[in-house]
Structure 1
């Protein structure tokens, strides 16, 4: 019977689903294949240690940091809603 209240563990289920979605999204964006020796944005040399640590690397650290900041600003939307909105 529907009572309007969230069931036991509903909040944890929401947290788990949000984390699984985030992991799935990030894994789909991982680079694959051989890494580049020079950044595809600024043509700076990508150090061998970075190419070894990040398989498929395509950007230098500075360009990757800028791309991460740009993407992070646009990804703050939680489509499942906040915990407070679900408890009302």
Structure 2
């Protein structure tokens, strides 16, 4: 497959790097330590089903959803042209 200046196998390396970055980011987002019975944000009790499903959870479903909405997806443009990277 012709890739311009890229060497053979470069596309697969880009895919592998993107997957590795996503896994690394997901591991960083995992909660550590013991969970809590009450939400850190609103103080409401965390439902038993959530605590069983996610033993390290520290927020209720509503507060966690709000946190997730605030988080920005940070990505690396590995396929951008050199011109777009210079802008």
Residue equivalent to 1:32: 32
Residue equivalent to 2:63: 63
Note the residue ranges of structure 1 that are not aligned, 5 or more in a row.
none
Give the CA RMSD over aligned residues.
Answer: 1.8
Please list every run of at least 4 consecutive aligned residues from structure 1 whose deviation after the TM superposition is greater than 3 angstroms. Answer: none
Once the two structures are TM-superposed, the CA of residue 43 in structure 1 deviates from its matched residue by: 0.8
The CA distance in 1 between the partners of 2:49 and 2:30, in whole Å, is 18
Aligned-partner SS, 2:55: coil
TM-score (norm 1): 0.77
The CA distance in 2 between the partners of 1:42 and 1:63, in whole Å, is 7
Aligned residues: 79
Residue equivalent to 2:21: 21
Question: Do the aligned residues in 2 keep the contact of 1:32 with 1:55 (CA within 8 Å)?
Answer: no
Q: Which has the higher contact order (CA 8 A, sep 6+)?
A: 1
Once the two structures are TM-superposed, the CA of residue 84 in structure 1 deviates from its matched residue by: 4.1
Note the residue ranges of structure 2 that are not aligned, 5 or more in a row.
83-87
